Amino acid sequence: MATGDRTNKIVIELHGERCLHARSVGSACSLCADSCPGTALRLEGPGGAPVINPARCMQCGQCLTACPLEVFESPSFTERQLVNRIKGEEPVSLRCFLPYGQLEALGQGPRTYQLGACLASLSPGVLFELALSRPCELRTERCESCGLFARLRPTFEANVTAAFRMLHGVRASANLTESAPLFLPRLTVPQGDSPLAAPSARASIRALFGGVRRQASPAKKRSPLALRQRSKHVPAWRRRAAELWTRQGFSASGACDFAWPELVADPEKCRACGVCMQMCPTGSISHYLEDGVFSHVFVPGTCVNCGLCLAVCPEGALSRDYRAFAHPFQGVECFSRDAHRCERCGMPVLSGADDRLCPPCAAEAARPSLVSRIRAQLGVESPAERSAREGGRAWEVVPEARDDAPKVNGEGERP
């Protein structure tokens, strides 16, 4: 039986405040513009932010997943609607929004769902969810002949590859297939790979998309340091994956095989300035100062691998790696050191420093004042500088003696 979205004329909404260009003028990200097949996206906004030309938009939806921060959203096409409409555990076949004159094929073979957008618009998270409890086939036999494919291929391949590797971790990668060899033949399916048990998968999906959602309470409630925190946004599919990881208990079933981003912080270079925490667009980096101990904490599952933290670190203390995590959506401690609070701003001052102030405050305190800079530009000596030049003798203005001045030494002269 064929089903599908009601329209293929999706509307794209732009959330410019989430863009990396809105957070840092040094951002070089151009993923959305590079992958737009209709060249409807241009980096012409303030600071290089994207601008949409509706006349050139082809409604393919690739920008929905090409941008890792969900700068682009569509109220007429959401992944939650897709998952809610594909119910049960029967095999499903997903087709793109272009019929190619073969509408009769929609009623043949497995249940077919025709998207209101291109297959490249599906994030790794929704592919993972759909293939977790049922065989899911991507109809890719006409992708390479499509005129849009050349620009869409990098995004499409990245999403399918990430979903396949996540399914590999739970021994369900055999559920994700392609009607024509495109990306998956290059990936290795482990021997003995089999679909996950349907009852537990069904229960987890129902718990994920229905009822009351409750977050797992952490073992210790901690409040991260606040350093003029900018707004943070975690993509929806990563939030859903975090809930699914907790409810399904994937950490015990081997899902940690997936290589997540890892932030490596050099404790000898880091000075706990908090710039990386402030600039991280998803809030994956947190700094804590409790009981005289500073902790640098990172959440791999919510990191979008934008690299902004590495670019803005003033000390070059951060680097990036990839490895498996048993609990990717829980904070991982990069390092911890004894520390005390800065007397001026309250930020951490790591052990080993004799200063009472943190490095930024110490640098600001050592900076000459505005009056001193003006005196230096005018070539005027300050009283302290003149005193030092005259050998330490205090310099003062002595008023001239007047005729009516009181006599001090009996001779009418001032000492």
Confidence (pLDDT) at 389? 64
> 353, exposed or middle or buried, with CB in 10 Å at 0-12, 13-18, 19+?
middle
Q: Helices 198-209 and 236-248 sit at what angle, rounded to 10 degrees?
A: 130
Bridge partners (DSSP) listed for residue 320 = 263
Q: How far apart are CA 112 and CA 374, in angstroms?
A: 75
* Cβ pair 58, 10 in contact under 8 A: no
Distance of CA 45 to the CA centre of its chain: 21
Instruction: Spell out the domains of the chain, with CATH numbers in brackets.
Output: 2-208 (no CATH), 258-364 (3.30.70.20)
Q: Helices 124-132 and 236-248 sit at what angle, rounded to 10 degrees?
A: 30
Q: How far apart are CA 139 and CA 156, in angstroms?
A: 13
48 vs 45, 81, 125, CA distance in Å?
5, 32, 29
25 vs 33, 45, 367, CA distance in Å?
17, 12, 26
Contact partners, residue 97, CB within 8 Å, separation at least 6: 5, 8, 59, 60, 61, 114, 115, 116, 117, 118
Confidence (pLDDT) at 282? 93
Confidence (pLDDT) at 126? 93
Task: Indicate the residue type of 188.
Answer: T
63 vs 68, 118, 128, CA distance in Å?
9, 10, 19
Confidence (pLDDT) at 261? 92
112: phi then psi, degrees, rounded to nearest 5: -110, 135
pLDDT tens-digit profile, the chain (415 residues): 456 665 667 888 999 888 988 888 777 888 999 989 988 998 887 778 889 998 898 888 889 999 999 999 988 888 888 888 887 788 999 988 876 545 555 555 568 888 888 999 999 999 999 998 899 999 998 899 888 899 999 999 999 999 998 888 788 889 999 999 899 877 654 443 433 333 333 333 333 333 333 333 344 556 777 665 568 899 999 998 888 887 776 755 555 567 889 999 999 999 888 889 988 999 999 999 888 899 999 999 999 998 899 998 999 999 999 988 888 899 999 999 999 888 888 888 888 755 778 777 777 777 776 667 777 777 777 666 676 666 654 444 444 444 554 444 444 444 4
Confidence (pLDDT) at 402? 46
241: phi then psi, degrees, rounded to nearest 5: -65, -35
Q: For residue 329, how many other CB atoms are within 10 A of its CB?
A: 22
pTM: 0.74
Q: Which two tokens stand for residue 369?
A: 């004042």
315 vs 112, 262, 286, 340, 349, CA distance in Å?
53, 19, 18, 20, 15
